[in-house]
Every structure is written in C-alpha cells, then in structure tokens.
Amino acid sequence: MALHLRTFLAFLVLACACAAQEQKFVSIGDLPLTSGEVLLDCRVGYRTLGELDAAGANAVLVPSWYGGTTRE
C-alpha cells in the first residue's frame, strides 16, 4: 500500500511540475498507421522538465493519455 501511495505522490509532483512548463510541438509529417490509414501532417505536443544529462540517461516519457492532458 505504501508503495502505491509513494508512486501516486511522485506522479502528482511530476504532473504539477509539468503543468508549469509551456507546451511545445514537433511536426513529424505524415504518420502511417498499422491499419493502413495515414495521419496527415501529424504534430506531437510535449512538455519538458529539467535538463537532459550529457548521456541522455535521465529522460522520462509520460504519455498524456495515462494521466489526462499535458496540463494535468
């Protein structure tokens, strides 16, 4: 139980910190899907927090569909 609470609190802190960051977008062009359909001119929104270390080892991806929007 304590581990679940600790995990929840960690995500809550991360979500609050991410909400303070401005959302950015990157265009990845046309994105073919496994269904054969294509998302035209696909853009992905993201937020960054902190700085990437020289090795790139401290990056964490938190997809917004796990926690709502990027502001939550």
Q: Which domain holds residue 40?
A: 2-66
Alpha carbons 64 and 31: distance in angstroms, whole number: 19
Per-residue pLDDT band at 34 (split at 50, 70, 90): very high
**Model pLDDT, residue 18:** 55
* Within a domain: 29: yes
Query: By C-alpha distance, which of 44, 41, 37 is closest to 64?
Result: 44
Global pTM exceeds 0.95: no
Evaluated on CA atoms 47, 8, 6, 61, the torsion sign reads negative
Segment 46-69 shows an average pLDDT of 78
Indicate the SS3 state at residue 2. Answer: helix
- The answer as to whether 71 is a domain residue is no
Give the number of domains in the chain.
Answer: 1
**In this structure, is the dihedral angle defined by the CA atoms of residues 20, 47, 59 and 63, taken in order, positive or negative?**
positive
Count of C-beta atoms within a 10 Å radius of residue 70: 17
